[in-house]
Amino acid sequence: MEGQSVEELLAKAERDEADKLQRITVHKELELEFDLGNLLASDRNPPTGLRRGEPPPEAELRALARDNTQLLINQLWQLPTERVEEALVARLPEPTTRLPREKPVPRPRPLTRWQQFARLKGIRPKKKTNLVWDEVSGQWRRRWGYQRARDDTKEWLIEVPGSADPLEDQFAKRIQAKKERVAKNELNRLRNLARAHKSRLPSSAGMHPTGHQSKQELGRALQVARVSTASVGRFQERLPKEKAPRGSGKKRKFQPLFGDFAAEKKSQLEMLRLMNSKKPQLDVTRAANKQMREEDQEEAAKRRKMSQKGKRKGGRQGPGGRRKGGPPPSQGGKRKGGLGGKMNSGPPGWGGKRKGGQHQGGKKRK
């Protein structure tokens, strides 16, 4: 008896619960998808009663909307809440729907020259006061800007220093110095900006004609201009003394992926043979060229040193007359008589050695 009454009580409690929740439960075949961060709900259920072909009545649409909104509100009421100034506030999660941005992601800007230097030296910005006491005017003035504390362009009396020209205008000189400093600051700012944008605008860096472009920038501008025709530079003739552009072809050439199977097999077997062999393979030509290049570099270094020493001692000739970078003996002969004797002694022996060296390899230099 008691057992039955306990069961009855439990059943009744369940029914009460169901009744309570009946007002807010909605039955749907497919669960809705919620994105509470955006207060968004997506109902995937095909709208059943409304599929006739005529426009659905407003009451049906409203009933559907009511059901969906009820489900969304149920979800929202389950979020953690807190009380903020007499209002019940729910904490929303992050929105999960991914939407496109309105502007591109900002890229990190490279450090300016000063920032790099400060980082290297470990300099930290010191906190400075905004106002400084100005003795001259007897008040607190800004450190920089309009009506600043120590503005040397605004002085009414400047003593002419002893070493200066008495007819020089000292006031104008100070104003000129200020203008130069401002221009230098602006130049540095623009250079920092250009460095920041360098990766973004590589093509138009040297293309705008300023008065002072470097030789490489001009060369690059020339190349781009040549290729900017309708036939991509194919029928563009070169100027009389213009040389062919070097390094504009393909940088590396690869074999096609599959083509000549026999050649591929051969090259791979050759590679295996080389790897297995105990003796190191020596390419005589490459070794000889390398040796020659090293020798040339040493000589060039020596020549530079001699020329520096020669310049310092007032333009005296170095031994062997190696001043102007080893001109061919014919050109050396064209020089002045005074130098000619010395010049002739140097190069023949030296040139002979060179020619001998060149024949050693037997092939052109790479």
Partner 1 sequence: MDALDRVVKPKTKRAKRFLEKREPKLSENIKNAMLIKGGNANSAVTQVLRDVYALKKPYGVLYKKKNITRPFEDQTSLEFFSKKSDCSLFMFGSHNKKRPNNLVIGRMYDYHVLDMIELGIEKFVSLKDIKNSKCPEGTKPMLIFAGNDFDVTEDYRRLKSLLIDFFRGPTVSNIRLAGLEYVLHFTALNGKIYFRSYKLLLKKSGCRTPRIELEEMGPSLDLVLRRTHLASDDLYKLSMKMPKALKPKKKKNISHDTFGTTYGRIHMQKQDLSKLQTRKMKGLKKRPVERITEDLERKSKRIKKN
Give the residues lining the site for partner 1 (CB under 8 A): 19-21, 23-24, 37-47, 50-51, 53, 55-56, 58, 61-62, 64-66, 68-70, 72-74, 76-78, 81, 84, 87-92, 94-95, 97-106, 189-190, 193, 197, 200-201
The residue (of 7 and 60) whose beta carbon lies closer to partner 1 is: 60
How many other C-beta atoms can be found within 10 angstroms of the C-beta atom of residue 82? 9
CB 190 to partner 1: min, Å: 7
The residue (of 72 and 149) whose beta carbon lies closer to partner 1 is: 72
Locate 289 and state its tokens.
């060229």
How many other C-beta atoms can be found within 10 angstroms of the C-beta atom of residue 64? 17
Locate 9 and state its tokens.
């009580």
Distance CA 339, CA 116 (A): 51
Do residues 320 and 345 touch, judged by C-beta distance below 8 A?
A: yes
CB 91 to partner 1: min, Å: 5
Do residues 226 and 233 touch, judged by C-beta distance below 8 A?
A: yes
How many other C-beta atoms can be found within 10 angstroms of the C-beta atom of residue 343? 24
234's CB contacts (< 8 A; 6+ apart) are none
**Residue 188, CA distances (Å) to 152, 176, 183, 192, 195 in order:** 23, 18, 9, 6, 10
The residue (of 191 and 266) whose beta carbon lies closer to partner 1 is: 191
Distance CA 187, CA 194 (A): 10
The residue (of 46 and 259) whose beta carbon lies closer to partner 1 is: 46
CB 143 to partner 1: min, Å: 17
Q: Which of 265, 233, 266 is nearest to 248 (CA)?
A: 233
The residue (of 114 and 133) whose beta carbon lies closer to partner 1 is: 114
CB 90 to partner 1: min, Å: 5
How far separated are the first and last CA of the chain, in Å rounded? Answer: 109
CB 20 to partner 1: min, Å: 3
The residue (of 95 and 349) whose beta carbon lies closer to partner 1 is: 95
CB 104 to partner 1: min, Å: 5
CB 321 to partner 1: min, Å: 53
Distance CA 134, CA 128 (A): 16
The residue (of 70 and 289) whose beta carbon lies closer to partner 1 is: 70
